[in-house]
Structure 1
Amino acid sequence: MAMRQGLLFRQLFESESCTYTYLLADTETKEAVIIDPVLETLDRDVKLVKELGLNLTVAVNTHCHADHITSTGLMKQRILGLKSAISKLSGASADIQLAEGDKIHFGKHYLVVKETPGHTDGCSTLVLDDDLMAFTGDTLLIRGCGRTDFQQGSSSRLYDSIHQKIFTLPEGCLIYPAHDYLGQTVSTVGEERKLNPRLTKSKEEFIKIMENLNLPKPKKIDISVPANLVCGLH
């Protein structure tokens, strides 16, 4: 994939919850941010940051996860000066409470916060400053979307969030979700607008689909949500 000059990018995978963690850095200043780090892969992530000689300044969660525990709290103990961040609408504690339009800077780059509620109240999509990449969390998945049957789920809000905040990005903008269960790593706004089986439907049809998914409860929800409200520290 063609990468913007001066931008270091790594997509990392955690196999138990099929979570993607993303590391972005400015190659000149070495300032870096990490998105959706997972407790199980804390050692791997810290090691990579140190190997690459990065100054990790912000660890951001796209939302309060139900399927894994975040490593932001423990990562702060291992990396001096690291701050945690999450949407102020999530109800979770963090050093930085994010809101619509906020910018997370790393060197000469930054991520713009878009509030995209629906899967949970506090879901954010993080868009790179040139609209080249969007980190959609559980809001928009590759050919799918986050479920809306627990926490503060709302199918109507999710549909609006995706259509108004994500599908309005440029067609070629790369979509990087927080999970993929089929080994897919990336999509584009144009692809999802055209091919996403749920989101090409009308809002009424979408709500009906989401009401009839009948998915099992996430295995770790009873442990993960309370822990993630406090940065993964019990």
Structure 2
Amino acid sequence: MFNTTRLKARKARFLNRWHAWRATRTRAEVTGFVSSPEPRTIGSFARGRQLMAGNYLFAGTLVEGAEGTPWQVKPPDAAFSAELHGFAWLDDLAAVGDTTARATAQKWLWAWVDTYGRGRGPGWTPDLTGRRLIRWINHAIFVLRGQEKEQSRAFYRSLVQQTQFLARRWHGAAPGLPRFEALTGLIYAGLTLEGQEDLAEPAIRALARECTVQIDKNGGLPTRNPEELLAVFTLLTWAAAALA
């Protein structure tokens, strides 16, 4: 039997790869932020310390005693990989906040740029890119402190490439939480990155449409999943704060 679901998934993967490849070849450049970004996400000090000790707990799976960077670890499953590439763990390292935590965050972030920054790998999906952009922007001051000019250029270059990818592919994210993540990340980038301001307004309008379609008059989502509902309203709060 012809499997349309599988065909759609293959098409989405192809389009993600294609637009990621195109985005990494953009001539657009960013050299700074419109204003200094402030962290709006709060991590766990305890989780941050565990990460620094080489104990990676993602999506309920623990990998212990890892050395080097997380990108050298074979992910046990797709959910583990998704959490890793979403960079929410950057909140936890920032919660520790000392020089060792900063050095760890810098090492891991620039290792991602070196390994996946050319548009390859499982992190180039609209929802994960949106999630990752939010964390990179939130903690930009934390990770850029003490970095050389070339490293800063690589950071901003990757930010603009991921932003260009989102501008082309946000609509490829599944309706619901994944699309809210993609659009919130695009709004963040459009409002904070120099030269990307034109991307913000279309993303804001798209987010408003998604709210109308996905959130009912009682404030619920079609999935009726309370965890997803909390995540969506957290994203909307961040988007509203960015617009303020």
What TM-score, normalized by structure 1, do the two folds share?
A: 0.28
- Give the number of the structure whose residues are more often helix, by fraction: 2
What TM-score, normalized by structure 2, do the two folds share?
A: 0.27
Structure showing greater radius of gyration is 2
Structure of higher RCO (CA pairs closer than 8 Å, 6+ residues apart): 2
